[in-house]
């Protein structure tokens, strides 16, 4: 059940701290597992004698696996509890990392990354659901944002592992050591409580495990949830394209079109990541104060302006010292829109399907970004890489428009 009545208190307890700490750690290692391979890809490709086309298929299959994992673990989160689903997903992506490190053939590498992808897909939906159901409504946005802020920090760790650890110990040992998050399973099992909202639902005689996927699908495809599901999924997909197109193509774009070498491009990347971290952290505070829709619109417009500035307006801004760096930083700040997706799902869907919807929306949308490079490469011969990448700005504006097709849910409390 959902209500729009604000809670009477915003006091945080040890329950909140434990749930947030474990969810944040899961988020951090989830994003790390999903990105570390790209930072050691050169060594992996050389050692296993992979063709570039084979590596591309590997990346595509891992993305598809995250979509499957999102649906599977989302459903498990609704059926057997958020805590158990979180444990299973962490264990699976840690095992996938270990298997990647000991692989000695292409087929085994594919199996390892599919396993890792399924585990990675389970983390986001369950983690956001746990935090969203646990924290007071007036603080939900900011703690969802703090949870999302684990992502840029994990990407920084991935870059350190790829540039410093892997060359020192080898990419295999780097991946074996990346299985360390398996220890989190024991900590979660002992230290982290279950979502009180899910427990209240399960103990009330309406056990969520009795709802099979086909019945959930039928429920979500009827009013009042059908329109909301379509809009939230479309908004998340637009946001994924707005984020991953520039992030995927930035190194190639800076090298080929702007003639910036690898050493200097690292500086640009760090400016972008710093802005991104600030965007993730501030989004939640703004959204709790000014509402989900207005905040999503503002940050999406900022993201669009940043993308247009570092692509279509590059030559004009390059005449003034520092303007391009500011534009890169602004682009990062705009990616704070990712912090708004979790509360949208949590606040718009009931307890018995909330984790399933979160896993589906985030991970299927992320899997669809595999088609982003197709769009860019199709436009590049006509408008250059800058023109191709600039379409991400249009996707960001679509996020801004989509937000107004949803009800305002800031301050909405959740009940079993």
Helix H, strand E, coil C: the string for 156-191 is HHHHHHHHHHHHHHCHHHHHHHCCHHHHHHHHHHHH
Q: pLDDT at position 415, please?
A: 66
Place of tokens 């479309």: 234
Across 29-98, the runs of DSSP E, i.e. the strands, are none
Return the H-helix or E-strand segment holding 39. helix 14-39
Nearest to 37 by CA among 60, 14, 21: 60
> Percent of the chain beyond pLDDT 70?
94
Q: What is the DSSP letter of 3?
A: E
Q: How many CB atoms lie within 10 A of CB 147?
A: 26
Could you give the CA distance from residue 309 to residue 306 in angstroms, rounded to a whole number? 5
Domain ranges of the chain: 2-414
Lowest mean pLDDT among 8-12, 32-36, 155-159, 182-186: 8-12
pLDDT > 50? residue 103? yes
How high does pLDDT run on average in the chain?
87
pLDDT > 70? residue 6? no
pLDDT digit string, tens, across residues 367-382? 998 888 778 888 888 8
Q: What is the sign, positive or negative, of the torsion defined by CA atoms of 287, 354, 89, 56?
A: negative
Q: How many CB atoms lie within 10 A of CB 255?
A: 15
Q: pLDDT at position 9, please?
A: 57
Nearest to 255 by CA among 266, 245, 244: 266
Q: pLDDT at position 143, please?
A: 94
The alpha carbon of residue 321 and the mean position of all alpha carbons in its chain are separated, in whole angstroms, by 33
Q: What is the sign, positive or negative, of the torsion defined by CA atoms of 47, 49, 53, 55?
A: negative
pLDDT digit string, tens, across residues 191-226? 888 888 888 877 765 444 456 667 777 788 888 899
Helix orientation angle between 14-39 and 52-79, rounded to the nearest 10 degrees: 160
More confident residue, 266 or 105: 105
Could you give the CA distance from residue 307 to residue 245 in angstroms, rounded to a whole number? 10
Do residues 239 and 338 make contact, with C-beta atoms less than 8 angstroms apart? yes
Could you give the CA distance from residue 352 to residue 346 in angstroms, rounded to a whole number? 11
Q: pLDDT at position 36, please?
A: 87
Return the H-helix or E-strand segment holding 2. strand 2-3
pLDDT > 50? residue 16? yes
Helix H, strand E, coil C: the string for 348-377 is HCCHHHHHHHHHHHHHHHHHHHHHHHHHHH
**pTM metric for this prediction:** 0.86
Q: What is the DSSP letter of 322?
A: T
Do residues 329 and 271 make contact, with C-beta atoms less than 8 angstroms apart? yes
- Please name the residues in contact with 75: beta carbons below 8 A apart, sequence gap of 6 or more: 213, 216, 355, 356, 359
Lowest mean pLDDT among 146-150, 235-239, 287-291, 316-320: 316-320
Could you give the CA distance from residue 352 to residue 75 in angstroms, rounded to a whole number? 9
Residue 126 corresponds to which tokens in the numbers above?
């369950």
Q: pLDDT at position 402, please?
A: 97
Q: pLDDT at position 2, please?
A: 56
Question: Taking residues 168-184, what's their average pLDDT?
Answer: 88
Could you give the CA distance from residue 390 to residue 246 in angstroms, rounded to a whole number? 8
pLDDT > 90? residue 183? no
Q: Is 342 exposed, middle or buried (0-12, 13-18, 19+ CB in 10 A)?
A: buried
Q: 51: alpha, beta or left, given left = phi > 0 and alpha = psi -120 to 50?
A: beta
Burial 52-83 (b: 16+ CB within 10 A, else e): eeebeebbebbbbbbbbbbbbbbbbbbbbbbb
Question: Taking residues 288-298, what's their average pLDDT?
Answer: 96
- Please name the residues in contact with 184: beta carbons below 8 A apart, sequence gap of 6 or more: 22, 25, 26, 29, 90
Query: What superfamily in CATH does domain 2-414 come from?
Result: MFS general substrate transporter like domains (1.20.1250.20)
Nearest to 102 by CA among 158, 41, 173: 173
pLDDT > 90? residue 160? no
- Please name the residues in contact with 127: beta carbons below 8 A apart, sequence gap of 6 or more: 23, 24, 26, 27, 30, 86, 147
pLDDT > 50? residue 63? yes
């Amino acid at each position: 059940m959902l209500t729009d009545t604000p809670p009477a208190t915003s006091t945080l307890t040890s329950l909140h701290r434990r749930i947030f700490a474990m969810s944040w750690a899961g988020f951090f290692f989830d994003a790390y597992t999903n990105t570390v391979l790209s930072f050691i890809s050169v060594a992996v490709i050389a050692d296993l004698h992979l063709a570039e086309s084979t590596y591309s298929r590997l990346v595509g299959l891992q993305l598809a696996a995250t979509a499957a994992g999102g649906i599977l673990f989302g459903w498990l989160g609704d059926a057997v509890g958020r805590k158990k689903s979180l444990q299973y997903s962490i264990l699976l992506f840690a095992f996938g990392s270990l298997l990647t490190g000991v692989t000695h053939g292409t087929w085994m590498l594919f199996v390892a990354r599919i396993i890792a992808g399924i585990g990675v897909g389970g983390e986001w939906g369950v983690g956001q659901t746990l935090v969203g159901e646990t924290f007071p409504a007036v603080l939900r946005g900011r703690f969802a944002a703090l949870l999302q802020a684990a992502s840029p920090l994990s990407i920084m760790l991935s870059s350190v592992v790829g540039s410093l650890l892997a060359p020192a110990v080898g990419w295999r040992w780097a991946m074996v050591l990346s299985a360390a998050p398996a220890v989190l399973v024991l900590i979660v099992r002992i230290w982290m409580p279950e979502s009180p909202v899910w427990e209240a639902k399960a103990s009330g005689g309406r056990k969520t495990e009795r709802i099979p996927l086909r019945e959930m699908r039928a429920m979500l495809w009827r009013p009042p949830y059908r329109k909301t599901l379509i809009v939230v999924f479309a908004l998340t997909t637009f946001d994924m394209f707005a984020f991953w197109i520039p992030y995927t193509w930035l190194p190639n774009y800076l090298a080929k079109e702007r003639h910036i070498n690898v050493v200097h491009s690292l500086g640009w990347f760090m400016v972008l990541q710093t802005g991104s971290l600030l965007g993730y952290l501030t989004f939640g505070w703004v959204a709790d104060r000014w509402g989900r829709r207005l905040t999503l619109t503002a940050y999406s417009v900022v993201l669009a302006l940043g993308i247009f500035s570092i692509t279509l307006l590059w030559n004009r801004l390059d005449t003034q010292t520092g303007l391009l760096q500011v534009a890169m930083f602004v682009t990062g700040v705009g990616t704070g829109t990712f912090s708004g997706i979790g509360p949208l799902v949590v606040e718009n869907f009931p307890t018995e399907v909330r984790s399933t919807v979160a896993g589906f929306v985030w991970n299927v949308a992320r899997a669809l970004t595999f088609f982003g490079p197709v769009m860019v490469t199709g436009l590049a011969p006509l408008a250059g890489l800058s023109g191709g990448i600039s379409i991400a700005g249009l996707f960001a504006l679509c996020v801004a428009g989509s937000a107004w097709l949803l009800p305002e849910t800031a301050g909405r409390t959740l009940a079993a």
